[in-house]
Structure 1
Amino acid sequence: METLKIAIQKSGRLHDESLKILRDCGISINNGRDQLKVEAANFPLEIFYLRNGDIPQYLRDGVADLAIVGENLLYEKGEDLQIQKRLGFSKCKVSLAIPKQCDFKSVAELSGKQIATSYPNTLQKYLDQNNVSAEIHLITGSVEIAPNIGLADAICDIVSSGSTLFKNNLKEMDVILKSEAVLASSPNLNTEKKQILDKLLFRIDSVLRAENAKYVLLNAPNEKLNEIIKILPGMKSPTVMPLAESGWSSVHTVIYQEKFWEIIDELKSVGAESILVSPIEKMIL
């Protein structure tokens, strides 16, 4: 039987969250100390722990079939690779930043300047799109220090909270790219591996839906049920069950995070009571 080989970061910000989503999919991974490769106990999956920057080439070569990587890495080194699923975690930006005292108003003012970065291809594409000619200074370590030591006039780097920029007396000038963790695939998957991938994607979809939704139970007077049902479409329609107390019903439904508090406010305003909210472990449609 075929086994899917998935690459994740050996270490770094994506490592723990990559393992978590696989485990949330019910895949049993028993890590040994300093292992570079491990097989799942209950799913045809083999996990490779690789250096982040090497992963796109391993996908091209077919050494790995899948990988959980930052979208920014694919933009830099793997635009030819297919994204199978956006995973919603490890969100960040690749930004252009300058010293706080600089008064540059547009990227055009960086023409002829030096820009330090660990993402030369991403930066070059950005400069080309803006018709700017600047000197790219490649740095593999801490990019933020470059302007402070006179090595560059600006930097291009990953920004998460912005605290690192602040500590190094820098400010964001422009966002080049927004990124999150993605599941990417090799172009060399055979039919059997694609079938295993479909099963994995089904599990991932169930996990991601559950993370973005809450299970809600509430009590409602029967004369208000129609109003409440209009507010609560649910996955198809809410479940309504009579309570022991005459004239009242229990309503069960699912509310998605993006509109959760607005809907709760509406429910209360039309007479819903005793609203209980629970997390959902998996949501299978």
Structure 2
Amino acid sequence: MTKIRIAIQKAGRLNQDSLSILKDCGISIDNGKDQLKASARNFPLEVFYLRNGDIPQYLKDGVVDIAIIGENVLIEKGAGIEVAEKLGFSRCKVSLAVPKGVKYEGLAYFEGKRIATSYPHTVQTFLREKGVNADVHIINGSVEIAPNIGLADGICDIVSSGSTLFKNNLKEVEVMLKSEAVLAVSPKISRQRREILEKMQFRIQSVLRARKSKYVLLNAPNDRLDAIVSLLPGMRSPTVLPLADKGWSSVHTVIDQDTFWEVIDELKQAGAEGILVCPIEKMVL
């Protein structure tokens, strides 16, 4: 039986988030400790656990068909690789940082300076577009120490919370790009495996929609029902059912997580009562 081959990060946060979304898609993986390859029990899928930086080449060579990988790694090493889906987790920035004591007034600071990074292509492309010439030093590992030991005047690295920069007496001065986990596709994927990918994407999209939404039930007085319904940005239109108590209705709808609290405040002001909010496991359209 044909199986689609997916690469995910061998260890770390992206590994856990990748396994989590596969689990939410109903895909059960027989996964032993320190295994580098595993199969799903209930879906035609093989999982390869690889070093993050190696995944783009495996995709290019067709060793794996798809991968869950940081968008920043694709930008650095995966030119020409298709992104099938943005997954919304493992968000970070790729930024330039300098020592805290430096008076930074703009990108001109980096003219002729030394920048330590493990993202040389990303840095060079960014600076070239901005008309800045700098000396890029490639470091695989902890680049934050480079300014402290006199190896560089600044660094380019991933920034999540900023705590690592703070601990190393650095400050973020330019955000070059924003990144999140994506589902990437090999240019050599076969037609049969593309069909399996489409089934998998359908599941992933259902999970992602659910993660971004809340199911809301509320009670509304009938004389204010039209005003309350007008506030609801549901998938199509809300469900309205009569309550045993005359003059009242129960309204069911879905609200986007990003606007959730604003909508709830408006609903309360319009007269909604007994608002119940539930998580959604899957949302199939």
What is the CA–CA distance in structure 2 between the aligned matches of 1:165 and 1:223, rounded to whole Å? Answer: 57
- The aligned counterpart of 2:251 is 251
1:81 aligns with 2:81: yes
Deviation at 1:113, TM superposition (A): 1.1
Aligned residues: 285
**Equivalent position of 1:219 in the other structure:** 219
The answer to whether the Cα contact below 8 Å between 1:67 and 1:184 also exists between their aligned partners in 2 is yes
Structure 2 distance, partners of 1:267, 1:131, is 51
Q: 3-state SS of the aligned residue for 1:14?
A: helix
Partner of 1:236: 236
Q: Which residue of 2 aligns with 1:54?
A: 54
Asked if 2 retains the 8 angstrom alpha-carbon contact of 1:108 and 1:130, the reply is no
Amino acid at match of 2:79: E
The offset of 1:258, in angstroms, is 1.3
2: CA distance, partners of 1:65 / 1:25: 18
Q: Deviations over 1:14-71 (max 9, x none)?
A: 1100000000000001210111000100000100000111100000110000000000
RMSD, aligned α-carbons: 0.8
The code of the aligned residue for 2:98 comes to I
Q: Counterparts of 2:277 and 2:53 in 1: how far apart (Å)?
A: 42
- CA deviations on 1:162-215 (whole Å, 9 max, x unpaired) are 011111111111001110000000011222111111100000000000001000
With normalisation by structure 2, the TM-score equals: 0.98
Calculate percent identity across the aligned residue pairs.
66
Which ranges of structure 1 fall in alignment gaps of 5 or more residues? Answer: none
Pairwise mapping of residues 1-285 of structure 1 onto structure 2 (< 5 A)? 1-285=1-285
Structure 1: distance between partners of 2:255 and 2:12? 33
SS at match of 1:64: coil
- In the TM superposition, residue 158 of structure 1 has moved relative to its aligned partner by 0.4
Q: Give the letter aligned to residue 252 of structure 1.
A: H
Q: Which runs of 4+ in 1 moved over 2 A?
A: none
Kept in 2: contact 1:21–1:204 (CA 8 A): yes
Where do 5+ consecutive residues of structure 2 fail to align?
none
- Is this contact kept in 2: 1:93–1:175, CA < 8 A? yes
Q: Normalising by structure 1, report the TM-score.
A: 0.98
